[in-house]
Structure 1
Amino acid sequence: MSIEDAIDKACSAVGINPPKRRDYGRWLQTDTLSAKNGKGDGRVIINETHVTAHNWQTGENVTVGIGGDVEKRDRQKIAQQIQAAKRKQEADAARAAQIATSLVAASRVTGHPYLITKGFRDEKAMVVTVADVRRIGGDYLAPNSACCSAVLVPVRIGDRVTSAQLIWEDGTKKFLFGGSTSGASHRVSSGVDTWLCEGYATAITVRTALHGMKVKPTVLCCFSAANIATIAERLQGRGFIAGENDKPLPQFGGIGASEYYARKTALPFGTPETGSDFNDFFQQAGIFAVQRSLTGIMAGTLRGAA
């Protein structure tokens, strides 16, 4: 199979457009097939022997082998480019970790408009000013001139800060360029059992609901459905997944990404009765409705429960 055929096959399998560039050994950005909503959410990396395509929206990864259609001379050239790209990737990851650490140092714990819009007027979080974000991380992290500050969500693998997510007043979310997020999470509370959530607001909602029931769990914000499955692989003790009502996708057999990846784990799983996630459900139906749903997950009675 030729490189072009492998690219087309991998991209088609995950629902993204083939990238316009043909660099090797580094992730190339492209769009998904979901029009404007998928702009920039596709990734492709071309190596000596295979092509991997990734859909950021669904968390899908597909790898397709190139076969023997690449000349030895071309393989050597590709290998050189891959090594250079690997060095750059490592440098980008180290820089992102350094930037994240500096943002944490520049932050202060206080309230934020985003938390109010999510129903948590008295909630406090790490907050950084737009001036500090631009100075430390770069202008690309600030979505527009009207933004004044962002909630800072450190991304950690173990105790090590590897990246950060910024959530601005209008809900815009930005990750640091090059930061390591696979297998990473953000802990919003500590306890005996562990709850895995995708988004920060969902994690706060789950924590608040369970604390109201006198249940003190560990709650992790995992940033994506696919990453929940990754973190679940190394989870010790009892765990649960507070899933989301994602759009059903053909490549997932007619279910959403949240349920698809939750089913890959051995953990009890459930989704809210209404809304896209448990924070939506909280704002629509109240905290007691969320508590009933979470109790159902723990009892193994909600959809998707193991």
Structure 2
Amino acid sequence: MTFVDFCRAHGIIIDTLPQVGVWKRYRTTDKPSHRNGAVKFMGDHGFVQNHATMQEVSSWRIEGDSPIAHHEIQRIARQASQEIARNNAKAAKRAAWLLAHCETRKHAYTVAKGFPDEVVNVWEMDAGPIAVIPMRIGRKLVGAQLITEAGEKKFLSGQRSGGAEFVFANRGPHILCEGYATALSARDALKNLKRPYTLHVCFSAGNMKKIAADLPGGIVLADNDASGVGERVAREIGWPYWMSDALCEDANDYHRREGLFLLSQGIGKALREAMAVP
């Protein structure tokens, strides 16, 4: 397997070999609008990590004889892992600093998504206010998603995203969402149904699988991506799922298009299916 094929097998969108000896960022199949893929090519070996789905670096070695001994490749892989760990720690510290300097107030992003009274953590920048969504693994803060008023999203540089989530907990069934706005719509729908909930904002389709692996069961609110990734991941998780009938829509888009009643009915049906699963 070539290095490019190895990268593709890990969900990295890549067509040609990158520059030798430096980490390069790439888009991924599970989240094509973000550069969550990290790749380092060293000629006869290389390293890959999809930050949204992988906790560790995966190493590649050219087939056949290589002038670099196997133990040397392992040493380089360890160094790469240590570098990632240092970057993870810096990102977690940065997230804590940001949250400590945020105001809790309304933001244009949530207003545009149909929640004019919603308040979030807002960090004031010269370029405009940024909504800061904390990301945790268990109770440990590991990073944050930053959202501009125009809806542009990014993670903190170097942060650990695999397994990280934001949770709206109300002692109810587990419900996996990809995006924050989807979770807000789901929360309104469940309140309308007078149902408790535990909403997991997973930030990417690939990360949904990682979150689901540690949960006993629930439902998935899948994005209807043009790529089909959202539905494919929902099927792979194996739980009942709901998805908009319109291409390129998520639950929030459907909520704003069709209204709260129909969204509530769709989510309620998925929950009933989940309860019927032995």
**In 2, Cα distance between equivalents of 1:39 and 1:190:** 30
**In 2, Cα distance between equivalents of 1:111 and 1:122:** 7
Matches within 5 A, 1:133-152: 147-152=127-132
Q: Which residue of 2 aligns with 1:294?
A: 267
State the one-letter code of the partner of 2:154: K
For these two proteins, the number of residue pairs brought into alignment is 267
List per-residue Cα deviations over 1:51-102 (Å, max 9, x = no partner): 5475979xxx9986633432245x5554443333222211111000001011
**In 1, Cα distance between equivalents of 2:58 and 2:131:** 33
**In 2, Cα distance between equivalents of 1:197 and 1:211:** 16
Q: Which residue of 2 aligns with 1:96?
A: 91
- Find out whether 1:283 has 2:256 as its counterpart: yes
Q: CA RMSD in A?
A: 3.1
Q: Which residue of 2 aligns with 1:84?
A: 79
- Find out whether 1:10 has 2:21 as its counterpart: no
Match of 2:225 among 246, 252, 268: 246
- C-alpha contact 1:54 1:62 (8 A) present in aligned 2: no
**In 1, Cα distance between equivalents of 2:158 and 2:245:** 36
Per the normalisation by structure 1, the TM-score is 0.77
Percent sequence identity is 29
Q: Which residue of 2 aligns with 1:228?
A: 208
State the one-letter code of the partner of 1:299: R
State the one-letter code of the partner of 2:91: A
Match of 2:186 among 206, 228, 231: 206
- Find out whether 1:67 has 2:63 as its counterpart: yes
**In 1, Cα distance between equivalents of 2:96 and 2:156:** 12
After superposition, the Cα gap between the structure-2 partners of 1:41 and 1:90, relative to the gap in structure 1 and judged at 3 Å, is closer
Q: Which residue of 2 aligns with 1:138?
A: none
- Find out whether 1:128 has 2:123 as its counterpart: yes
Shift of 1:273: 2.5
Per the normalisation by structure 2, the TM-score is 0.84
Shift of 1:107: 1.2
After superposition, the Cα gap between the structure-2 partners of 1:45 and 1:191, relative to the gap in structure 1 and judged at 3 Å, is farther
**In 2, Cα distance between equivalents of 1:62 and 1:246:** 27
Residue segments in structure 2 that go unaligned for 5+ positions in a row: none
**In 1, Cα distance between equivalents of 2:33 and 2:141:** 28
SS in 2 for 1:18: coil
Shift of 1:230: 0.7
**In 2, Cα distance between equivalents of 1:8 and 1:86:** 21
- C-alpha contact 2:4 2:14 (8 A) present in aligned 1: no
- Find out whether 1:108 has 2:103 as its counterpart: yes
After superposition, the Cα gap between the structure-2 partners of 1:79 and 1:21, relative to the gap in structure 1 and judged at 3 Å, is farther
**In 2, Cα distance between equivalents of 1:99 and 1:51:** 26
Matches within 5 A, 1:160-179: 160-179=140-159
SS in 1 for 2:270: helix
After superposition, the Cα gap between the structure-2 partners of 1:239 and 1:63, relative to the gap in structure 1 and judged at 3 Å, is farther
Shift of 1:170: 0.6
- C-alpha contact 1:11 1:17 (8 A) present in aligned 2: no
After superposition, the Cα gap between the structure-2 partners of 1:156 and 1:108, relative to the gap in structure 1 and judged at 3 Å, is same
Residue segments in structure 1 that go unaligned for 5+ positions in a row: 132-146, 249-255
**In 2, Cα distance between equivalents of 1:93 and 1:225:** 21
After superposition, the Cα gap between the structure-2 partners of 1:53 and 1:205, relative to the gap in structure 1 and judged at 3 Å, is same
SS in 2 for 1:183: coil
State the one-letter code of the partner of 1:94: A
- C-alpha contact 2:45 2:73 (8 A) present in aligned 1: no
**In 2, Cα distance between equivalents of 1:116 and 1:157:** 28
